[in-house]
Structure 1
Amino acid sequence: MATSVVASASTRDKPRLSFWQIWNMSFGFLGIQFGFALQNANVSRIFETLGGTEIALYWLAAPLTGMLVQPIIGYMSDRTWSPAWGRRRPFFLIGAILASFALLVMPNVTALWMAVGMLWIMDSSINISMEPFRALVGDLLPASQRTTGFAAQTFFIGVGAVVASSLPWMFANWFDVPNTAPAGQIPPSVKYAFYIGGVVFFLAVLWTVLRTKEYPPDNLAEFEEEKRRTAGFWNGIRESFAGITHMPKTMAQLAVVQFFSWLALFSMWIYTTPAVTSHIYHTTDTTSKLYNEGADWVGICFAVYNGVSAIAALLLPAIARATSRRVTHLICLTAGGLGLISIYFIQSPTMLLLPMVGIGIAWASILSVPYAMLAGALPANKMGYYMGVFNFFIVIPQVVAGLILGFFTKSVFHGESVYTLMLGGVSMIISGLLTLRVNDADDIQLPAETPVLANPAYDSPLQTDPRV
């Protein structure tokens, strides 16, 4: 592998940041999750509306691109510096522009191949914005605040997803916007939800871009020389895939944990709509009012689990200090796994909200605890690069889900999607058990994490106004 980029500010002792500084650096995730929530809750519905039957296979378009996008963006952002725009923020903005465009176009597609292609573009663009956000926590926060930093991101993920997932239901029930349409057409309630998502995505990311400052490299001349020597798209690809064979031990252990937890998540995102509409609403007719009511209710269920995750994220740092990050992750994933399994035993739409509590707790942990453990194990000057490589272990289970879950659903479960959700629940519990073997150095020697709210006026080199 090429020698590392000369260390950025992450090698110096980083001061603790204030509540508002962490708020502003995390706020963009509100918009990012608007995009992901609309995608996760509605894309399978769009595929079925357009006549698609191999839903899991159609979802493969996104991860195959993400496998390239995230590590390359991380590699490039490690080698980027602008006095005006910093290191990560240019990528936030580029991704936001592209993702917002994709969100505006997606509900207007008229053919299945267009929907698959737009999912490809949308998912890739969201990843361009998201990956540097993970690295930003490692760049700016000391070890004692990393769990808080990732938990803040999870809070905004939860808030964004609650609203975004509920939008089709809200348009249909609060504003009388039709939630049905002729065969092959996307309902207006879904269209308007995507339009709102495109606007919110851009504005939320823009807030972080304008209100957050980044540390410059320690030695700009050495940084520029190293960047010149190692820059290049193909070099980024080569380095990205080589990174899998040079992972720190903790990262390799977390990779297995990530595989099983994200396999469970993809089973849920891909098959909850067909499972709920067939198992609880007892219909597969995508033009029927009953089907669309069930699909809208899936959005509410997703809003509930994301709302729970926003609250749970605030509690994770305290639970991790009282136990450990590993035990915290085990508890949370077990709750999520049991939630997925329990859907089989439910016949009432209202009762579906109960398993969403466990799933929300798991989601909060998945979005924060592995990254907090990982950040302490990575070389400071390759934070973005390794965070990007770590994305492989989100993408790989998505590819596996696309290749095998369709087979299991059709051939093993005879079309009963609810059994696929149960399989996901088992996978999530396995992931929790595997967490116990992760070597988390910060769990052994982690300084007490003073609540950031207790120090709202902290003056750091990043910003002199603690509200900014």
Structure 2
Amino acid sequence: MNKRKLSFWEIWNMSFGFLGIQFGFALQGGFMSRIFQTLGAEIHDIPIMWIAAPLTGLLVQPIIGYLSDRTWNPRWGRRRPYFLIGAIFSSIALFFVPHSPALWVAAGFLWILDASINISMEPFRALVADKLPESQRSYGFVIQTLIIGIGTWIASNLPWMVSQLGVSDSAANGVVPMSVKVAFAIGAFVFLISILYTVFTTTEYPPEDMEEFKREKEKKNQFIPDILNNIGSMPLTMKKLGVVQFFSWFAFFTMWSLTNPALTEHIFETPAPVEANYNMDSEESVNEFQIANTAFQKSSNEVGKYMGVYGLSSMAFALILAFYTSKRRINRKLVHLFSLILGGVGFISMYFIPSPSWLILSFTLIGFSWGSILSMPYAMLSSSVDPKKMGVIMGIFNMFIVIPQVIAALGGINYTYKLIGEETINAMIVAGISLIIAGFCNLLITNKDAITYNPK
């Protein structure tokens, strides 16, 4: 099928739903550990409490990719129904998660939230490959990254912004502050509205051969065999990219799960107070606990604000690449290699910086790697797979994202960072080393079509 080149605004419209998806991911990644700690979780238990998220992605994305490949409605298209379903459930989960009365409830909402986000997210990756000719693939994924950067920055700052408007950061023991509750409610609204915008402003191409599509759709009991067959026959380039993805996502899962406890302890020196260390029958001790808890909540807002910087720098990265790739070719492999190494340096620098203001530099470097992770692997992959199987291939590719997260959650983070020392900040050093390894793994990729984008 000859696909026409799309304008910037057409690509923007089809990618705009990612603003809401990233609101969900940024609020989840920046503040779920804070919610867990507020509800009484110990630091060493936090990674395992995140395990529902990657496990959900491992199951959901290949299924949604497979189903969306086999879906067609003249009005709603192939991918858009899944955007909408995921957005509705994600918005509900985002609203209720900070109202969780207990740890197990919060962990359950995290599972629902991540499953719902994955339902929306996977078809967005496939939509870029569906809609754009090969000459615009890099450009399309970069525009997607630009929108993700905007969403990351705004959502990461939401609790701090809401707090500046006078909403309280203080709360009773075991209760999430109102500033976080309001931020998550805003995120729920933005998620739904942005997805609806894409659903109603974007059209999709019908299957190229409708008769063949109908025959494939009518085949019975093919789901598991098809998934297994596609896993077994994945291209060599996809396997090599999988190695890069493994170390990349181990690093970022470490960031999402442990940045808040690491930085509130090491940089801000306001760790989450442990109730067992206070005599809660004494009014004086209760007041001390409240003061320590409020300090932790305020420094957590600051951590979120600084984390938003990586969204800004990923946005700058995307803007530069968007202008460049609209007219010129790039070496995707080298761009990804150097971006990941810069991010690794950013993580490691957190251990050495003398004051919180230096976190701007650390997260700026991390943002370069994040911007590349969200665009370059998908651009390289989409150039080396069968376009008729783009949905299921993108879903299977997600295995290389979730497996490292599962390993990290099951003890990989705790084991590796404690090889360096007991302080939680050592987890950021592990994240940095992992990202640098990911960068050098790009040297494994040799497929010329995957490496180089040639404008036509």
TM-score, normalization: structure 2?
0.92
State how far apart, in whole Å, the 2-side matches of 1:194 and 1:126 are: 14
Greater Cα shift, 277-286 or 70-79? 277-286
1:223 deviates by 1.1
State how far apart, in whole Å, the 2-side matches of 1:238 and 1:183 are: 51
1:322 deviates by 6.1
Percent identity of paired positions between Structure 1 and Structure 2: 51
Where does 1:344-363 land on structure 2 (aligned, <5 Å)? 344-363=351-370
Residue aligned with 1:417, SS: coil
Partner of 1:309: 314
- Alignment of 1:61 onto 2:66: no
Given candidates 434, 437, 443, the residue that maps to 1:427 is: 434
State how far apart, in whole Å, the 1-side matches of 2:323 and 2:337 are: 15
Contact 1:55 1:406 in 2 (8 A): no
- Alignment of 1:156 onto 2:163: no
Greater Cα shift, 337-346 or 213-222? 213-222
Q: Deviations over 1:46-81 (max 9, x none)?
A: 111111120000000111111010000000000000
Residue aligned with 2:153, SS: helix
Where does 1:165-176 land on structure 2 (aligned, <5 Å)? 165-173=156-164, 175-176=165-166
Partner of 1:219: 209
Contact 2:130 2:387 in 1 (8 A): yes
C-alpha spacing 1:68/1:443, structure 2 compared with 1 (3 Å): closer
State how far apart, in whole Å, the 2-side matches of 1:409 and 1:437 are: 25
Where does 1:270-309 land on structure 2 (aligned, <5 Å)? 270-286=257-273, 288-309=293-314
Partner of 2:33: 44
Stretches (4+) displaced over 6 A: none
1:411 deviates by 4.6
Residue aligned with 1:207, SS: helix
1:285 deviates by 2.8
C-alpha spacing 1:218/1:406, structure 2 compared with 1 (3 Å): closer
Given candidates 67, 81, 84, the residue that maps to 1:90 is: 81
Residue aligned with 1:344, SS: coil
Q: Deviations over 1:113-167 (max 9, x none)?
A: 0011110000010000000000001101011111110011111101011111101
Where does 1:123-272 land on structure 2 (aligned, <5 Å)? 123-173=114-164, 175-230=165-220, 235-272=222-259
Letter in 2 for 1:240: I
1:246 deviates by 1.5
Residue segments in structure 1 that go unaligned for 5+ positions in a row:
1-11, 450-468
State how far apart, in whole Å, the 1-side matches of 2:452 and 2:331 are: 11
Where does 1:440-455 land on structure 2 (aligned, <5 Å)? 440-442=447-449, 446-448=453-455
Contact 1:106 1:115 in 2 (8 A): yes
C-alpha spacing 1:400/1:435, structure 2 compared with 1 (3 Å): same
State how far apart, in whole Å, the 1-side matches of 2:420 and 2:294 are: 26
1:444 deviates by 6.2
Contact 1:267 1:405 in 2 (8 A): no
Q: Deviations over 1:200-224 (max 9, x none)?
A: 0000001111100001112322211
Given candidates 365, 382, 402, the residue that maps to 1:375 is: 382
State how far apart, in whole Å, the 1-side matches of 2:330 and 2:131 are: 26
Contact 1:263 1:401 in 2 (8 A): yes
Contact 2:98 2:180 in 1 (8 A): yes
Letter in 1 for 2:294: K
Contact 1:244 1:389 in 2 (8 A): yes
1:85 deviates by 0.3
1:406 deviates by 4.7
C-alpha spacing 1:220/1:443, structure 2 compared with 1 (3 Å): closer
Letter in 2 for 1:339: G
Q: Number of residues paired by the alignment?
A: 434
State how far apart, in whole Å, the 2-side matches of 1:191 and 1:409 are: 34
Letter in 2 for 1:304: V
Greater Cα shift, 278-287 or 419-428? 278-287
Contact 1:94 1:128 in 2 (8 A): yes
- Alignment of 1:29 onto 2:18: yes
Contact 1:179 1:189 in 2 (8 A): yes
Letter in 2 for 1:412: L
